[in-house]
């Protein structure tokens, strides 16, 4: 199978999703739960084609959920790869820690990393049809931070990793780093753990494509519709606790990027306003085995960019995976 023959364009996106991808997902993608060691019930999706070539472990970004990756997971499956997609705690149908479904909170990224480790150990490695296959990690945005931490602490799990716009360093906009850190310290004293940080808010139900992370209007609408139709997908903003945990995690990454020995395919978007380019460049320069690819005109979600960028993106991605299987 050739990825260029599979790719869905902007013009035929709606009809292909309705008539091809969604029926495929209903017929082939299964979802269930596993219980983490701390008692958290975590939701995941997976699909295994006949005679899979490798297994792709997908780690999503901040406020994301499985249906956002319907298209990508369809490509993995059709190209002959099994995939497993864990909805991280605080997201989707996995364990929540606040009543408001649109808030994301966590005390430490150690929880995300441990969840991923247990997901691999107790779910993927017990699946007879894939447990002996090579494992390829795919991660986006916040998932890139979680995955980079995992690669540092568990260097022998994955044969390769794909980090798409990874959050190696958080974007803080026009604010100074000093002021942000002072605000985080104040939030501990005032116990603002479950409050939204400035600039974050609850789910409004109003589409705003122009300020989104995509350049594909139809993909943006498809994903937004999933949010509207399922309250579990309405995660929209982070709390002070999540932000403090994110800063702590990225501080650790900054001191330990040299420890990532796994072969990495690193994607950067030129118009990204969700993560800092300096973090991605640090990984590019300090990682031991990094293939770097730059998309100057893309926003944060390169896989939801223009037809031209998406074709290049997926060609690079699958070429990279195929090389790991030699």
Sequence-distant (6+) residues with CB within 8 A of 60 are 66, 68, 69, 85, 87, 88, 91, 139, 140, 141, 142, 143
Sequence-distant (6+) residues with CB within 8 A of 194 are 98, 103, 105, 239, 240, 241
**pLDDT mean across residues, the chain:** 97
Which helix or strand (DSSP H or E) is residue 197 part of? none
CA–CA dist 291, 105 (Å, integer)? 32
DSSP class of 170: B
pLDDT surpasses 90 at 15: yes
Percent residues over pLDDT 90 in the chain: 98
CA–CA dist 277, 271 (Å, integer)? 10
Which helix or strand (DSSP H or E) is residue 297 part of? none
What Rg value do the Cα atoms of the chain yield, rounded? Answer: 19
* Domain range summary for the chain, segments of one domain joined by +: 3-324
Position 257 scores a pLDDT of 98
Position 1 scores a pLDDT of 79
Sequence-distant (6+) residues with CB within 8 A of 32 are 43, 44
**Cα distance from N-terminal residue to C-terminal residue, the chain:** 17
Sequence-distant (6+) residues with CB within 8 A of 144 are 59, 61, 163, 164, 165, 166, 167, 168, 275
Nearest C-alpha neighbor of 150 from the set 276, 72, 259, 287: 259
Show the beta-strand stretches assigned E in 2-134.
30-35, 41-47, 55-59, 82-86, 103-104
CATH class of the structural domain 3-324? alpha beta
Average pLDDT on 161-167 reads: 98
Q: Write down the pTM of the prediction.
A: 0.98
* Chain centre to alpha carbon of residue 249: 16
pLDDT band at residue 152, thresholds of 50, 70 and 90? very high
pLDDT tens readout for residues 84-139: 999 999 999 999 999 999 999 999 999 999 999 999 999 999 999 999 999 999 99
Percent residues over pLDDT 70 in the chain: 100
Position 149 scores a pLDDT of 98
Looking at the DSSP bridge assignments, the partners of residue 161 are 137, 264
């Amino acid at each position: 199978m050739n990825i260029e023959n599979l790719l869905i364009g902007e013009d035929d996106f709606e009809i292909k999703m309705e008539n091809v991808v969604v029926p495929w997902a209903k017929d082939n993608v299964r979802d269930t739960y596993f219980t983490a060691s701390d008692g958290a019930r975590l939701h995941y999706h997976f699909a295994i084609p006949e005679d899979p070539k490798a297994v792709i472990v997908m780690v999503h970004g901040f406020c994301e959920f499985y249906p956002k990756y319907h298209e990508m997971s369809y490509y993995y499956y059709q190209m002959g790869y099994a995939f497993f997609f864990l909805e991280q705690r605080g997201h989707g149908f996995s364990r929540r820690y606040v009543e408001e479904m649109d808030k994301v909170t966590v005390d430490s990224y150690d929880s995300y990393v441990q969840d991923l480790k247990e997901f691999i150990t107790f779910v993927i490695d017990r699946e007879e049809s894939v447990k002996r296959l090579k494992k390829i990690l795919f991660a986006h945005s916040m998932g890139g931070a979680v995955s980079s931490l995992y690669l540092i602490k568990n260097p022998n799990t994955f044969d390769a990793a794909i980090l798409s716009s990874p959050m190696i360093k958080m974007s803080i906009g026009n604010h100074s780093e000093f002021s942000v850190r002072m605000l985080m310290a104040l939030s501990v004293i005032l116990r603002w753990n479950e409050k939204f940080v400035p600039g974050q808010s609850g789910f409004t139900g109003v589409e705003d494509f122009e300020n989104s992370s995509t350049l594909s209007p139809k993909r943006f609408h498809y994903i937004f519709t999933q949010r509207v139709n399922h309250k579990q997908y309405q995660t929209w903003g982070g709390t002070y606790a999540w932000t403090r945990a994110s800063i702590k995690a990225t501080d650790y990454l900054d001191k330990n990027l040299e420890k990532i020995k796994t072969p990495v395919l690193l994607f950067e978007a030129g118009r990204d306003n969700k993560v800092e380019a300096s973090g991605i460049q640090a990984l590019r320069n300090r990682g031991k085995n990094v293939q770097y690819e730059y998309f100057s005109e893309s926003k944060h979600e390169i896989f939801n960019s223009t037809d031209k960028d998406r074709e290049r993106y997926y060609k690079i991605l699958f070429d990279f995976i195929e090389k790991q299987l030699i």
